[in-house]
Amino acid sequence: MQNRGCFVALVVLAVVLLAPIIGCIGSYNHIVRENEAVNSAWKEVENQLQRRYDLIPNYVETVKGFAKQEQTIFLGVAEARGKVGQTLVGSASIADKIAANNQLSSALARLIAVAERYPELKSNSNFQALADELAGTENRIAVARKRYNDQVQTYNTLIRALPGNIIAAMFRFDKAAYYEAPADTKAGMKKPPPVKF
């Protein structure tokens, strides 16, 4: 009888000691899964950003043929695209990639505004096909960015709440960066251009 009581006490002690360890392993694995989901979502954003990056030269060349006097716009797009290119080949941080792509988005908005001023350009079928492709890509970027930000929210919440914050601190899991809109498009910063007919 005494051996049975000893055995039960050892089992209870083992369960009490192992439960926190198993809980920590479970929390760690959950954080790793969410971290990988953030990385995967970011790769989809990069996929769409690369698609846009590849489309821009054709779009710019088409607009250039009609709007030769808009050199500063073309230089701005080329400069912004160059910065994005540097983040693609280097080991730039996500924050640097976001900043470079936000600058490119701003330059593209100016280029699109120029294109709107040339009716003969808008009626060109090559330009229209490129514009549609670029618009579709911008939509894909928006969807990928939303999915990425949703995943970042899930992950950041996990590593800030108990017990995830303890495990995250022990294993040095850092918060992920959100993909934020460029400063000039945030609410109240810049009004959209008026549409005139």
Q: Give residue 48's pLDDT.
A: 95
CA dihedral of 89, 56, 49, 84, whole degrees rounded to 10:
40
Question: What is the domain partition of the chain in residue ranges?
Answer: 30-184
The one-letter code for the residue type at 177 is: A
Q: Give residue 184's pLDDT.
A: 57
Distances (CA, A) of 4 to 9, 12, 13, 18, 107: 9, 12, 14, 21, 77
The one-letter code for the residue type at 103 is: Q
Tokens of 67: 């709007």
Q: From CA 33, how far away is CA 151, in angstroms rounded?
A: 11
CB 115 within 8 A of CB 131: yes
Taking the CB of residue 176, how many other CB atoms lie within 10 A of it?
Answer: 22
pLDDT band at residue 197, thresholds of 50, 70 and 90? very low
Contacts of 84-90 with CB under 8 Å at 24 or more apart are 84/49, 84/53, 85/53, 88/50, 88/53
For residues 88-98, give the mean pLDDT.
88
- Asked if pLDDT for residue 49 goes beyond 80, the answer is yes
Tokens of 31: 């954080």
Q: Give residue 183's pLDDT.
A: 63
Query: What is the model's pTM?
Result: 0.80
**Residues in Cβ contact with 187 at an 8 Å cutoff, skipping those fewer than 6 apart:** none
Give the DSSP H or E segment for 189: none
For residues 27-31, give the mean pLDDT.
96
For residues 14-31, give the mean pLDDT.
92
Q: From CA 113, how far away is CA 111, in angstroms rounded?
A: 5
**Residues in Cβ contact with 122 at an 8 Å cutoff, skipping those fewer than 6 apart:** 115, 116, 128
- Asked if pLDDT for residue 151 goes beyond 50, the answer is yes
